[in-house]
Chains A and B, each alone.
Chain A
Amino acid sequence: MVEDLFRIENLSMSFGDKKILKNINLVIHRGEIFALMGPSGAGKTTLLRILNFFEKPAGGDLFFEGTRLSHVREINTVRQRMSLLFQTPTVFNTSVFNNVAYGLKVRKMDRTAIEKKVKDALTIVGLQGKERQKARTLSGGEAQRMAFARAIVYDPEILFLDEPTTNLDPANVAKIEEIIMQVCDEKTTTIVLATHNIPQVKRIANRVGLLLNGELIEVSSKDQIFNSPSDARASAFIKGDMVY
């Protein structure tokens, strides 16, 4: 029995005359790794920003656990249960511990619980023992893993990832992908992954939505979209024959 966690209906978005997203309909199931796949400029980041309430859509509705989100209060409550990891890691100018503990401090958790959860999260991302290091002195890969730990430390129900392995070396890419799957399995966190990296989607996603020019061309299981795509454009993108 799959449970609908996040539902998007008839969502559209435009900046000026330019239509960025056209009539998006999408359901995210609880516990899955959903890949939002598409080339650069397709509208992936904009969609993620709308789902995290940084942009107001031009039209359409968002539902969380079946409830339509319209009021600021509801949005703030839902935000508490979500998390987003940006493409380039953002680092607060303080220690690794304070960075990772941020979401817990905001939730007014007590100090001993915070210390334990930060330790666990750093262990998951392979940065154990680095609590007292200044976050700005971390390497790019380490910073992204720290940001990952910061995003999952308070056990969000849904985690949005925007191109999380861009600019990373193969070792760090492998590590991040491993962490994504581990978090999904062990913490039963729902993952929404925006990426243009087809092999990555093949490696870790359960379901895939293909976004081209602001349109959601196809939404189906990984096996189906890679083995028998229903749309000619989807087929072209997957085979790498896409002409931009």
Chain B
Amino acid sequence: MNGAEFLYGGAVKAFELIINLDPYVMSITGVSIKVSGTATILAALTAIPLAFALSFLNFRGKQGLITLVNTGMGLPPVFVGLFIYVMLVPAGPLGFLKMILTQEAMILAQYILVTPIIAGISLAAIKAVPGPIIETVYTLGGREKDAVITTLKEAKFGIITAILAGLGRALAEVGAILIVGGNIAETGSIAGIGEGLSRTRTLTTAIVSETSKWDISTALALGIILISLNLSVNLLANFFRGRD
């Protein structure tokens, strides 16, 4: 079998799996969206107030926190995964939480990875709001609260972009969730048969394991879905950038 035939056959089977809504492939997509989506929502709920605090408040350790956010934007996922793994295993200090090899552990890992990204990009978006805009609020009789609300409105497309960037990163991330989630699927999890469904197997971790099995068509199908998801996220981000 030559390479082109191989790729062609893989692509055909990939489209079959997608068009037939193969339960195994769909369950993996579902876990990906759920884990990365939840992590991104939680991260946004932390990161956006944090970005505002860093922009509007003066407190001790603020510069340190900004450095932490900037460093966090480039955290190596495998390290984060390993750290959470040793914390959450039963032998670790947080073992009693029984979170290891669960979706919650994966959400926690991605939350840690995504929060600095959303905070950092939001911070840049807030800083990009011109100073006179905020001063105008005060000249018109507004208070600090009004200044914060106006800044949020002025920076909203930038902040939405930040959230989408975080979501994109979470969806594409593999190092951390592979370690803390374990890439688990139920027994019989074979594409095209669709008995065993994903537990902690996501599009990215499944691509790793399907490639290791050399099941190229399934890996391709998952890759096509992953790229489509990320493409949609990016188109959405572009749409909002255009609105600004």
Contact = CB atoms under 8 A, between A and B. Distances in A.
Contact of A106 (B130, B142, B153, B154): B142
A2 B177 CA distance: 75
B93 interface: no
A224 interface: no
Interface string B136-151: 1111111100100010
Contact of B139 (A76, A88, A107, A151): A151
A93 B135 contact: no
A148 interface: no
A209 to B, nearest CB: 21
A94 interface: yes
Nearest to B130: A90
A93 B140 CA distance: 16
A106 B149 CA distance: 11
A80 B141 CA distance: 5
Interface residues of B, number: 17
Given A90-B130, A90-B133, A106-B146, A84 B154 contact: no
B132 interface: yes
A92 B141 contact: no
A107 B141 contact: yes
Contacts of B130: 90
Given A79-B138, A92-B153, A86 B143 contact: no
Given A102-B142, A106-B137, 17 more contacts: A53-B138, A76-B143, A79-B139, A82-B139, A83-B140, A83-B141, A86-B132, A90-B132, A90-B135, A92-B136, A92-B153, A93-B244, A102-B140, A106-B140, A106-B143, A106-B146, A151-B139
